[in-house]
Amino acid sequence: MREIKFRGKRKDNGEWVYGYYVFSENYQKLLKNGAHLIFNLDDKTVYQVIPETVGQFTGLYDNTKWEDLLEQEQKEWLKNKKKKEDWKGKEIYEGDVVERYGVLYQVRFGQFVDVKGYCQCGFYLYDLKGNVVLGNLGYSYLTDDIPLKVIGNIYENPNLLKGV
């Protein structure tokens, strides 16, 4: 079973925060006012995030090896009480731009009604024209079968969309 979590950029400083959407009655007033909140898994704090930047974890990891990480990325991983041996690759989220066989794609969540009338939900790779290139990543495929590499995201690297 895949881990359900989200990421979003903090409203106060623009840093990424990873965790769970908050659906607690304690925050109903903020939620009614349009606030989007994420409970951070690392520091156990609730942060208000920019709604447009919120994306769900696909449950998949890219093919980035530990040795390919920058020294700062390795330190950040180890700082969060994780071990080198636990590294699986970079987590793939909605809004990420990934490379597959030298071509760039955007990861998005999609819902489609199949020919039998059933709603199919999942994560898909889209090209620049908005066409689904590869579907239902979270359920039908493994990253070993689809060699993906996260190279950025649409929020911090909008220029990448020109190449998608």
137: pLDDT strictly greater than 70: no
Task: State the pLDDT at residue 142.
Answer: 46
Task: Return the CATH number of 57-162, one of 2.30.30.290, 3.20.20.80, 3.40.50.740, 3.40.50.300.
Answer: 2.30.30.290
Of 71, 102, 98, which is closest to residue 84 (Cα–Cα)? 71
- So what's the pLDDT on residue 68? 93
The Cα 47–Cα 154 span in angstroms is 21
Interatomic CA distance for residues 164 and 159, integer angstroms:
9
Q: What is the largest CA-CA distance in the chain?
A: 50
Domain boundaries, given as residue ranges, for the chain? 6-53, 57-162
Q: What is the mean pLDDT of residues 113-136?
A: 71
pLDDT in tens, 14-29: 999 999 887 666 666 6
Which among 64, 73, 129 has a CA at the least distance from the CA of 99?
64
The pLDDT assigned to 21 comes to: 81
